Amino acid sequence: MKRELNEHGQPIGPVVEHWHSRPRPGREVMSGLYCRLEPLDPARHAADLFSANTADVDGRMWTYLPYGPFASLEQYRTWMEATCLGHDPLFYAIVDASSGRALGLTSYLRIIPEHGAIEIGHLAYSPALQRTPMATEATSLLLRNAFALGYRRVEWKCNALNGPSRAAARRFGFSFEGVFRQHVIHKGRSRDTAWYAITDGDWPAIDASHRRWLDPANFDAAGHQQVPLSTLTAPLRRAPAQDGPSDVSSG
pLDDT digits (tens, 9 = 90+) for 80-97: 999 999 999 999 999 999
Mean pLDDT of 46-61: 97
Residue 242 lies in a domain: no
Q: Which residues contact 64 (CB under 8 A, 6 or more apart)?
A: 158, 159, 161, 162, 165, 186
Mean residue pLDDT of the chain comes to 94
Residue 20 lies in a domain: no
What is the structure's pLDDT at 150?
Answer: 98
Amino acid 58 reads D
What is the structure's pLDDT at 243?
Answer: 72
Encode burial over 237-251: b for 16+ CB neighbours within 10 A, e otherwise: beeeeeeeeeeeeee
Bridge-based pairing of strands 35-39 and 4-5 is: unpaired
Residue 239 pLDDT > 90, yes or no? no
The distance in angstroms from the start CA to the end CA of the chain is 25
CB 151 within 8 A of CB 117: yes
Residue 179 lies in a domain: yes
Residue 107 lies in a domain: yes
Mean pLDDT of 133-154: 98
d(CA 193, CA 3): 30
Residue 176 lies in a domain: yes
Residue 152 lies in a domain: yes
Q: What's the CATH code of the domain at 228?
A: 3.40.630.30
Confidence band, pLDDT 50/70/90 cuts, at residue 240: confident
What is the structure's pLDDT at 164?
Answer: 96
Which carries the bigger pLDDT value, residue 39 or residue 242? Answer: 39
d(CA 136, CA 119): 16
> What is the number of domains present in the chain?
1
Burial of 139 (C-beta count, 10 Å sphere; 0-12/13-18/19+): buried
What is the structure's pLDDT at 208?
Answer: 98
Residue 246 pLDDT > 80, yes or no? no
Residue 30 lies in a domain: yes
Mean pLDDT of 201-207: 98
Q: Which residues contact 128 (CB under 8 A, 6 or more apart)?
A: 52, 55, 103
Containing structural domain, residue 157? 25-236
What is the structure's pLDDT at 249?
Answer: 46
